[in-house]
A and B are shown apart, each in its own frame.
Chain A
Amino acid sequence: MISVWKRELQSYFYTPVGYLFMGVFLALSSVMFYLQILAQRSSDLLTFIGQISYLWMLLTPVLTMRLLAEERQKRTDQLLLTSPVSLTGIVLGKYLAAVTVMLITVLLTMVYALIVAIYGQVYPGELLVGMMGFVLQGCAFIALDLFISGCATNPVSAAVMAFGVNFALWILDMVETSVSAGWLSDALNFFSLYARNEPFLMGQLSFASIGFDVSFAAACLVLTIHMLDSRRYRGA
């Protein structure tokens, strides 16, 4: 698993993918920081975190598109699947590499908190909880998009499909507020990755939301492993 993680992490920076993800994320979040914090002379970092959490929907497909789809397209999966590393090790190694790049990027966004701390007031506990929700949401999106990458036959279709699914989740979140049927609204609310992030954005450490995000990511990873294993059995 560690060897797969290391290779994938290096691969993000051997190719433009890692720089593209970090660059676009930081550029867009800087614009949002200017509009939300600097231009309004505000120190409300939680609202800012809530706004940049929509960037996951746009950018996690960039991180995950190559992970499994390219291995399948270039037949390099033959090396991994005929080596002593287990399928679980391969999937976890790839997932953790994407999560590592995401964490490095999130760490860089701490500069915004530093700027606010110099000129205003930052509440560390509140910030920590907000960032935790933000990272957990990113982890869930990466796991979902990794599953989609495993379904796709090439990186481009993986990215398009992943963006489509992420966008559909966002649309469903908006639908949830407008449907009249209570049970449907409750169901959509329960499964919404955005609604699950709301307690963190209010500074509340919600164990239910932590449990949901972790379970969501774990379920996506288990599905990915089973899907790849089933494809091996079919010899496809």
Chain B
Amino acid sequence: MIELKQVTKRYGATLAVDGLSFRAPEGQIVGLLGQNGAGKTTTLNMLTGYFPPTSGQVLVNGVDMLQDPRTCKRCIGYLPEKPPLYDEMTVAAYLAFVCELKEVERKAIPAHIKEIMATCGLTEVSQRLVGHLSKGYRQRVGVAQALCGNPPVIVLDEPTVGLDPRQVVEIRELMRQLGKDHTVIFSSHLLSEIQQLCQRVIILHKGKLIREADMADLTGGGDTLRLRASIAMKEKQLLPALKGLDCVRRVKVLPTSDVNITEVELECVTGGDRGDPQTQLFRLLCALDAPLRLLVPQRDTLEEVFLRATAEDDA
């Protein structure tokens, strides 16, 4: 498990990361989301020991990165934004070198490399020079080097940037596979990517953590449920009754072309004594004899959550 405690990083007068604290639990895919310059790469560089924080602590399985970097670094495989590849080496020779760096037992290296190359789809290019590979294959070699030594934590910095759509799908599938038996921490500014892959999301803005939650809670709204309803009743009669419901926190009227039909978006609180919001609404409408034409629970997209969170922070 990785934990950051009040981590700050300054580049001269510039504050890149400001008092950041979060945990990446074991066996989860954690996404670091933020705009360009939000501090994602700096955070990952500190987390992997590339450079130390100005203040604060990075703990890997409870061990401080500054106190015992060797033990911590053994547990982490890192793919930086630009894969650290030596163009003059073959794929197999490069991976063998990384295995030696990661202190893999010499006898076990050939089998280990074979397994990693099979996982990353590199077997057919194993004897080709890294410098001759396409961008997609280079990225795969980058992921493969992060797997050398079988570290329990894999850290990937914007792993799909610059790839064509097919390569993006392949890398995402690879990350999904890795997430089954590794803790994967990756950064991205692509919301759809984070939404597809992550179980937990950390939103950074201007070097600060502004939201940290499980993906389901973040997009589901936690204890808040939004319902969109279309009801065959005039707005004047319906609205006071809707506002009188215990579970309804806010009512937003949506435009319609028919004055006899009211379309509303209701922000409701879940977990009340009188049952779930849908049931309460249904009972009310039965009592009013107002036919319900449509009822759809609304889920926030990550884009909405992200924009709302960053706008709140800016405000």
Contacts and interface: CB of A to CB of B under 8 A. Distances in A.
B70 A11 contact: no
A15 B89 CA distance: 10
A162 to B, nearest CB: 22
A78 B88 contact: no
A120 to B, nearest CB: 44
Interface string A5-23: 0110011001100000000
Interface stretch (A99-107, A212-220, A227-235): A227-235
Contacts of B11: 234-236
Interface in B61-95: 69-70, 73-74, 76, 78, 80, 82, 84-86, 88-89, 93
B65 to A, nearest CB: 11
Contact of A235 (B9, B85, B98, B100): B9
Interface residues of A, number: 27
Nearest to B148: A83
Nearest to A81: B50
Contact of B101 (A77, A78, A79): A79
A51 interface: no
A3 B52 contact: no
Contacts of B9: 235
A10 B92 CA distance: 14
A84 B85 contact: no
Interface string A52-89: 00000000000000000000001111111111111000
A82 B70 contact: no
B101 A81 contact: no
B88 A11 contact: yes
Interface in B179-218: none
Contacts of A10: 89, 93
B262 interface: no
Contacts of B98: 79, 83
A124 to B, nearest CB: 39
- Interface size on B, as a range, is 20 to 34
A235 B86 CA distance: 23
A93 to B, nearest CB: 10
Contacts of A7: 86, 89, 97
A204 to B, nearest CB: 43
B49 interface: yes
Interface in B101-153: 101-103, 145
Contacts of B12: 234
Interface in B14-68: 16, 42, 45, 48-52
Contacts of A11: 86, 88-89
**Residue from A7, A10, A75, A78 whose CB has the most chain B CB atoms within 10 Å:** A78
A235 B42 contact: yes
Given A233-B51, A235-B11, A84 B80 contact: no
A85 B78 CA distance: 15
Nearest to A235: B51
**Residue from A6, A77, A85 whose CB has the most chain B CB atoms within 10 Å:** A85
B144 to A, nearest CB: 12
A11 B101 CA distance: 16
B164 to A, nearest CB: 23
Contact of A85 (B42, B50, B86, B101): B101
**Residue from A75, A79, A81 whose CB has the most chain B CB atoms within 10 Å:** A79
Nearest to B52: A233
Contacts of B85: 76
A78 B84 contact: yes
A76 B84 contact: yes
A82 B76 CA distance: 8
A101 to B, nearest CB: 15
B179 to A, nearest CB: 21
27 contacts: A2-B100, A7-B89, A10-B93, A11-B86, A11-B89, A14-B88, A14-B89, A74-B82, A74-B84, A75-B84, A76-B85, A78-B78, A78-B80, A79-B84, A79-B98, A79-B145, A80-B101, A81-B51, A82-B50, A84-B73, A84-B102, A86-B70, A233-B51, A235-B9, A235-B11, A235-B16, A236-B11
Rank and list the top 3 A-B pairs by shortest CB-CB distance, nearest first.
Answer: A3-B100, A79-B84, A83-B101
Interface of B: 9, 11-12, 16, 42, 45, 48-52, 69-70, 73-74, 76, 78, 80, 82, 84-86, 88-89, 93, 97-98, 100-103, 145
Interface of A: 2-4, 6-7, 10-11, 14-15, 74-86, 232-236
Given A11-B86, A79-B145, A235-B16, 5 more contacts: A7-B89, A76-B84, A82-B49, A83-B73, A83-B102
